[in-house]
Chain A
């Protein structure tokens, strides 16, 4: 690296200019200390991570384009699973076009005719209902709720040891203002008969497996005595627009505070049951250890020591969205650190920020409150006093007193991750 800026043409110089087209001027000024000018490399991310934990904020798949969507991160293509990139979480409401996608079965709707589609309320009811989209909008009072939809397996790629399943980073979540009809209003209109225990939900998606197996139908149920029944809506709008096909057009269930497994997409059958639902998607899939935080070990699972129960509410989480480490911060510059927080157990009441990796915490400023089930944005101003590498951290506390732990979790499904999030940043000289 000792080429002189002599103005004379050397063969190597010409090669640099015309051969590779890079680095032709001021080359003598290069020094190793300045080699890192950006966190974004010209190299590809690895296409897969492991056996260690995925160290990146999101999953490592390529950006792909799907109908009604901006480029999102691909996990799988059939059935479709797409992750929302980090930057879209700077706002409390996630764009429909950037909202993550997760289907279980291969035959998902490409086209739906609202002239023929009907929502059925059936099972153990006095008067089964058959409702068109128009009926839903005109015969019932519309209600709106801001609610976070998060995949049970969000952040699964953090697990150690790694577990099979969708290798999500942090972007299998989103927040939207959902508008629709109260589930309760539909159930009341149909008249739930005595002796009913659960309500089952089924969408238009079907799999190619044999009937009666989880590979054929995706069925989820909620207990009629669960208080969430009173909060649940059948949504026909998402952020004031029809739902994207990939997010469950024409209507989807919105179950505030609960993981997305219950938020049935393309909802078409609401079935009142007299017996607890023991289909695969309730009894085997989406089950967590009946332990604090749903935590266990591979050993206990293998020894058959772990009682499994259906997953339910989302533990408290918070995220740093910016700075994201893609650039350096000049020392003494007051930078905004921004992010989101939420909890399925109640309103987020405190968000704390740390610039020393979690030793010392300061309160961050909460953003607008859109209700207890929404993302709550937060921000704080941070003035790094010295150059060097910093580890930023954030933790949230909800109104029930749940605070994010600094330990990971392990269970065979890869569910319930809510460890304190960290972001490494470099502060450079400014004088």
Chain B
């Protein structure tokens, strides 16, 4: 009951203030006092680390902020092989790329960087990338 009364008083105040402002007609003021729940999110501040006077200079561990990969066939293979050297942010960051470019990227990982990926696994990885991360597949 107490709560309901508070709401009623609140409502009354809102209406009254509305009336007052509406009648005062401040020239040029189009809108004011508008808020809404933020949709962009917020970032927490880091705390302080303990320091010491020895020779060790440390910043602790680096945080990961890895977006989810698209669900689908081949995702597990990607998680096993690609994540060995780098996080899959390296995939999600890319613009939609043609299938041939993805194939080239995977082959570069194998031939140039020495990723131990079997032919069969490579084919699955390439298939996955061209199913979910090409121009036709990747819609906003």
Residues of chain A touching chain B, judged by Cβ–Cβ distance below 8 Å, are 5, 7, 9, 14, 17, 20-26, 29-30, 34, 42-44, 46-51, 54, 61-68, 71, 74-80, 106, 108, 110-116, 157, 162-164, 166-167, 207-210, 212-216, 242, 245-246, 249-250, 280, 284
A29 vs B60: C-alpha distance when bound (angstroms): 54
Instruction: Name the prevailing secondary structure of the A interface residues.
Output: loop
With contacts A44-B40, A68-B59, A77-B66 known, is A7 near B15, CB below 8 A? yes
Asked if residues A80 and B62 are in contact (CB atoms below 8 Å), the reply is yes
Q: Which residues of A contact B64 (CB under 8 A)?
A: 77-78
Nearest chain A CB to B61 CB, angstrom units: 6
Candidates B11, B36, B59; contact of A20 at CB < 8 Å = B36
Q: Say whether B72 faces chain A, with CB atoms less than 8 Å apart.
A: no
Asked if residues A24 and B55 are in contact (CB atoms below 8 Å), the reply is no
Q: Which residues of A contact B86 (CB under 8 A)?
A: 76, 78-79, 106
Interface set, chain B 91-134, CB cutoff 8 A to A: 92-97, 101, 105, 112-115
Nearest chain A CB to B27 CB, angstrom units: 11
Q: Which residues of B contact A163 (CB under 8 A)?
A: 101
Q: Which residues of B contact A44 (CB under 8 A)?
A: 39-40
**Interchain residue pairs A-B with the least CB separation, the first 10:** A50-B95, A115-B55, A111-B58, A67-B59, A215-B113, A78-B87, A213-B114, A5-B22, A162-B95, A76-B89
Q: Say whether B32 faces chain A, with CB atoms less than 8 Å apart.
A: yes
With contacts A113-B56, A164-B105 known, is A9 near B15, CB below 8 A? yes
With contacts A79-B86, A111-B57 known, is A7 near B113, CB below 8 A? no
CB-nearest residue of chain B to A244: B59
A162 vs B11: C-alpha distance when bound (angstroms): 55
Q: Which residues of A contact B71 (CB under 8 A)?
A: none
Q: Which residues of B contact A17 (CB under 8 A)?
A: 14
With contacts A67-B60, A78-B87 known, is A213 near B113, CB below 8 A? yes
Instruction: Name the prevailing secondary structure of the B interface residues.
Output: loop
A43 vs B40: C-alpha distance when bound (angstroms): 7
Nearest chain B CB to A179 CB, angstrom units: 18
8 chain-A/chain-B pairs, Cβ below 8 angstroms: A25-B33, A48-B93, A65-B44, A67-B46, A74-B65, A77-B65, A113-B54, A215-B114
Number of interface residues of B (CB under 8 A): 59
Q: Which residues of A contact B55 (CB under 8 A)?
A: 113-116
Asked if residues A62 and B65 are in contact (CB atoms below 8 Å), the reply is yes
Q: Say whether B34 faces chain A, with CB atoms less than 8 Å apart.
A: yes
Nearest chain B CB to A63 CB, angstrom units: 6
CB-nearest residue of chain B to A45: B40
With contacts A67-B60, A77-B64 known, is A25 near B93, CB below 8 A? no
Candidates A5, A75, A246; contact of B18 at CB < 8 Å = A5
Which of A43, A51, A64, A166 has the most chain B CB atoms closer than 10 A to its own CB?
A: A51
A246 vs B58: C-alpha distance when bound (angstroms): 11
Q: Say whether B3 faces chain A, with CB atoms less than 8 Å apart.
A: no
Asked if residues B31 and A26 are in contact (CB atoms below 8 Å), the reply is yes
Candidates B14, B40, B43, B112; contact of A213 at CB < 8 Å = B112
A63 vs B45: C-alpha distance when bound (angstroms): 12
CB-nearest residue of chain B to A211: B114
Nearest chain B CB to A245 CB, angstrom units: 4
Q: Which residues of B contact A20 (CB under 8 A)?
A: 36
Candidates A23, A71, A111, A166; contact of B59 at CB < 8 Å = A111
Asked if residues A280 and B112 are in contact (CB atoms below 8 Å), the reply is yes
CB-nearest residue of chain B to A46: B140
Q: Which residues of A contact B65 (CB under 8 A)?
A: 62, 64, 74, 77
Nearest chain B CB to A21 CB, angstrom units: 6
Q: Which residues of B contact A65 (CB under 8 A)?
A: 43-46, 63
Candidates B29, B30, B93; contact of A75 at CB < 8 Å = B93
Asked if residues B92 and A48 are in contact (CB atoms below 8 Å), the reply is yes
Beyond the given A78-B66, A215-B115, could you list 11 further A-B residue pairs with CB under 8 A, ordered by the A residue number?
A14-B11, A25-B22, A30-B31, A44-B39, A67-B60, A75-B93, A77-B65, A78-B89, A108-B62, A208-B84, A213-B112
CB-nearest residue of chain A to B85: A208
Interface set, chain B 1-57, CB cutoff 8 A to A: 11, 14-15, 18-19, 21-22, 29-41, 43-46, 54-57
A169 vs B32: C-alpha distance when bound (angstroms): 35
